[in-house]
Amino acid sequence: MMASLNMRILKMIMNNKKVLLGVSGGIAVYKALDVISRLKKKGIEVKVIMTKSATEFVTPLSFQSLSENPVVIDMFDEPKAWEIQHISLAKWADLVVVVPATANIIGKVANGIADDMLSTTIMATKAEVIFCPAMNTNMYENKIVQKNMATLKDLGYGFINPASGRLACGDIGRGKLENTEIIAEKIIKKLSSKSRDFEGKNVLVTAGPTIVPIDPVRYLTNRSTGKMGYEIAKEARDRGANVTLISGPTSLDIPTGVNFIKVNTNEEMLNAVLDNFNDSNIVVKSAAVADFNVKEYSKEKIKKTDSNLVIELERDKDILETLGKQKTNQIIVGFAAESSNVIENAKAKLKRKNIDYIVANDITSNDTGFASDDNKVTIISSLGDVISLDKMSKREVAKNIFDMIKGR
């Protein structure tokens, strides 16, 4: 009785969920049919894109029958209604899953190649994309394939790793498509935990350092890597927001599905922020901007002499303070990187800047903060709420920030 009730509840949750299944041309194509069957039983709507190679293994009719939707193959097929199909499908999906994912489709997406319906749709979607690799062991372990997968993972694409076992070619090793039951379970789990609670909201995020040019060769900067801001942008994107990420110079890959603006100086960041501020619902200013500017910039390279070089600095414009003065209905989140009296200094900054939340962290910690994948912060609200988080990944910190905003 309870199991039956739980099943009905799950079907209600999944009823409006939409999965776009990409099928690329490998021997495991037929297994994708079982994935569709399992998803349909849970009330999930499924649409299918097949590559031409995939149709050599299993006919599109089989996929059409199980999904109860037309199968898309050719970019130049006449659509059933007036629409640009790779765009309409990209917008339609809550989740894109490629089963099986061959070395070919993985390589295409990793290198920005969009030359068929599947690769083009993946490029156009803002939904999360998960690859389920299936190929010969030697292909899977090839350094090029591994590099392509690492690139995609760094960009935020997901993977359901292949299993080990006897392959169709007779080899034994890793490369076998994961059990379809496990694939379906992971898709369902992803959909059930996937909250798009910021759908329709415009979120503006700043990240990374800014630079202070001294002369055409030299500049001052700080140790910010931008990791925290980039994870905030990804979290907002995955929760349905329209995200604009304004970033100073970093070595990070640009997250997919966001409007990216690259800047260098404090002034450039201020101008970019102000250009987007009025249209923003939420602003998260995690960038470590320069507090000071060089009073006199040298248009020529400063020559080395026997004397010491003295550079006079002056206060630069305070971006966060500017936003606090101009805000109307925007929710503004600031960051306070402190080395002492962390909470007291953060509370004072929260009030002084007229913002809604401040995220305080101790930069003297050796295992969190700059360059680390983890952080340990305290989130303080203008309403007096104080939440101290344990050490966690920066993505988890980002989740907590948006959870706190949601509960406001």
- In tens, the pLDDT along 49-79 reads 999 999 999 999 999 999 999 999 977 665 5
- Confidence (pLDDT) at 130: 97
Active site residue 132: no
What is the pTM assigned to this prediction?
0.60
| Selection from 237, 203, 177 nearest residue 333 by Cα | 203
Question: Using 50, 70 and 90 to split pLDDT, how confident is the model at 86?
Answer: low
Name the average pLDDT for the chain.
89
pLDDT confidence of residue 359: 96
Residue 314, pLDDT score: 93
- The answer to whether the beta carbons of residues 86 and 120 sit under 8 Å apart is yes
pLDDT of 45 higher than 50: yes
Please state, in angstroms and rounded to a whole number, the distance separating the CA atoms of residues 62 and 60: 5
Q: Would the pLDDT of 194 be above 80?
A: no
Per-residue pLDDT tens digits for 321-348: 999 999 999 999 999 988 888 899 999 9
- With a cut of 90, say whether residue 173 has pLDDT above it: no
Q: What is the DSSP letter of 54?
A: G
Q: Which residue has the tokens 């329709």?
A: 200
Output 116 or 168, whichever has higher pLDDT.
116
192-201, 287-296, 399-408: segment of lowest average pLDDT: 192-201
Contact by Cβ (8 Å): 132, 98:
yes
Please report the sign of the dihedral spanned by the C-alpha atoms of residue 365, residue 367, residue 371, residue 373. Answer: negative
Answer yes or no: are the C-beta atoms of 205 and 229 closer than 8 Å: yes
**Residue 148: per-residue pLDDT:** 97
Q: Among 169, 172, 182, 254, which one carries the catalytic annotation?
A: 169
Determine if the peptide bond prior to 255 is cis (ω within 30°): no
- pLDDT in the model for residue 1: 40
pLDDT of residue 79: 53
pLDDT in tens, 347-359: 999 999 999 999 9
Provide the pLDDT for residue 3.
Answer: 45
The whole-number pLDDT of residue 283 equals 98
Please give the domain boundaries of the chain with CATH numbers for all domains.
2-193 (3.40.50.1950), 202-294+307-406 (3.40.50.10300)
Residues 221-260: tens digit of each pLDDT: 988 999 999 999 998 988 889 999 999 999 999 988 899 9
Contacts within 8 Å (CB) and 24+ apart, 224-227 = 224/248, 224/250, 224/287, 224/288, 224/370, 225/250, 225/251, 225/252, 225/370, 225/371, 226/250, 226/252, 226/287, 227/252, 227/371, 227/372, 227/373, 227/394
Give the number of other Cβ atoms within 10 Å of residue 193's Cβ.
Answer: 7
CA-to-CA distance for 175 and 380, rounded, in angstroms? Answer: 47
Q: How far is CA 311 from the centre of its chain?
A: 40
8 A C-beta contact, residue 248 and residue 210: yes
